[in-house]
């Protein structure tokens, strides 16, 4: 089992659901993935839900703020990138053309985090772990395993993330750089950068997290039965791995991924 006490800087470290209906979201994700939900108070009149899989932390969820809903922000999944220093990541984001969506804040007994936006508009967070180390399970069935950056301007985003996290963007074997690119952090492949032409003009730049499964078609059908909307049906790539994209009943979008057998 990998050591999750220390996620390397630049790796995805946490995944967080902002939802309009936490009770319904808990029901959906628990039914689809077998996650156990545990609520804890987070300030006055606010609960934070910890999702666990096999007793290990896998994601968090909270009720989205009224002002976010009024701004038209839909329910969404936020990715967090591990950093050694959240304040340095904030400064680096501003230096390289991004924006700060929040100040850097300390979460007592958890760590320090800040919400950021890349130069093209995709929002993400960075997390400087404290007592909470992030996900305790990864790249296993029913756990997160990957994330794609959906953006219409790859040429502006690649230098930004490269400068901020040291990421490399590499084509698949025997492919050229005009196609899907893998995001490499150190020695590890952690995510991808799809071709810009695959992105509908009406869709804002965003990060799309993937949750691993053993049978993509079956899991997609189950999600639909539980009230999800299928955006991309189960699709097999090069005769091996398969994926789909779905929106949960409240509208938060994620992908399902079944690795090649």
- pLDDT, one tens digit per residue, over 21-31 is 999 999 999 99
Tokens (6 digits) for 16: 């967080």
Length of the chain: 261
User: What are the residue ranges of CATH 3.10.180.10 in the chain?
Assistant: 12-129, 144-258
pLDDT of residue 87: 96
Under CATH, which number does the domain 144-258 receive? Answer: 3.10.180.10
Write out the chain's pLDDT in tens, 261 residues.
Answer: 455 677 899 999 999 999 999 999 999 999 999 999 999 887 777 889 999 999 999 999 999 987 877 887 889 999 999 999 999 999 999 999 999 999 999 988 889 999 999 999 999 999 999 888 899 999 999 999 999 999 999 999 999 999 999 999 998 776 766 789 999 999 999 999 999 876 777 889 999 999 999 999 999 999 999 999 999 999 988 778 899 999 999 999 999 999 876
Under CATH, which number does the domain 12-129 receive? Answer: 3.10.180.10
User: Which pTM does this prediction carry?
Assistant: 0.94
Q: What is the 3-state secondary structure (H, E, C) of the chain?
A: CCCCCCCCCCCEEEEEEEECCHHHHHHHHHHHHCCEEEEEECCCCCEEEEEEECCEEEEEEEECCHHHHHCCCCCEEEEEEECCCHHHHHHHHHHCCCEECCCCEEECCCEEEEEEECCCCCEEEEEEECCCCCCCCCCCCCCEEEEEEECCCHHHHHHHHHHHHCCEEEECCCCCCCCCEEEEECCEEEEEECCHHHCCCCCCCEEEEEEECCCHHHHHHHHHHCCCEEEEEEEECCCCCEEEEEECCCCCEEEEEECCC
207 in Cβ contact with 146 (< 8 Å): no
Beta pairing, strands 229-236 & 242-247: antiparallel
Rounded-to-integer distance, Cα 129 and Cα 135, Å: 11
């Amino acid at each position: 089992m990998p050591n999750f006490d220390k996620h390397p800087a630049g790796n995805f470290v946490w995944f967080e659901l902002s939802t309009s209906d936490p009770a319904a979201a808990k029901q959906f994700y628990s039914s689809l993935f077998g996650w156990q939900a545990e609520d804890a108070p987070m300030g006055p009149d606010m609960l934070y839900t910890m999702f666990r899989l096999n007793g290990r932390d896998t994601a968090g969820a909270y009720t989205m703020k009224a002002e976010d809903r009024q701004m038209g922000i839909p329910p969404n999944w936020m990715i967090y990138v591990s950093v050694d220093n959240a304040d340095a990541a904030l400064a680096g984001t501003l230096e390289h053309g991004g924006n700060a969506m929040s100040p850097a804040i300390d979460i007592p007994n958890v760590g320090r985090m800040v919400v950021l936006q890349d130069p093209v508009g995709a929002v993400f967070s960075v997390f400087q772990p404290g007592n909470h180390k992030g996900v305790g399970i990864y790249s296993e069935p029913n756990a997160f395993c990957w994330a794609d950056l959906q953006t219409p301007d790859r040429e502006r985003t690649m230098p930004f993330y490269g400068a901020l996290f040291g990421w490399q963007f590499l084509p698949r074997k025997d492919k050229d750089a005009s196609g899907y690119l893998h995001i490499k952090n150190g020695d590890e492949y952690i995510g991808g950068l799809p071709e810009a032409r695959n992105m509908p003009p009406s869709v804002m730049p965003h990060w799309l997290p993937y949750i691993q499964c053993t049978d993509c078609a079956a899991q997609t059908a189950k999600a639909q039965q539980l009230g999800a909307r299928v955006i991309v049906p189960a699709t097999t790539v090069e005769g091996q791995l398969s994926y789909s994209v779905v929106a949960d009943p409240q509208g938060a979008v994620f992908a399902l991924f079944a690795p090649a057998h």
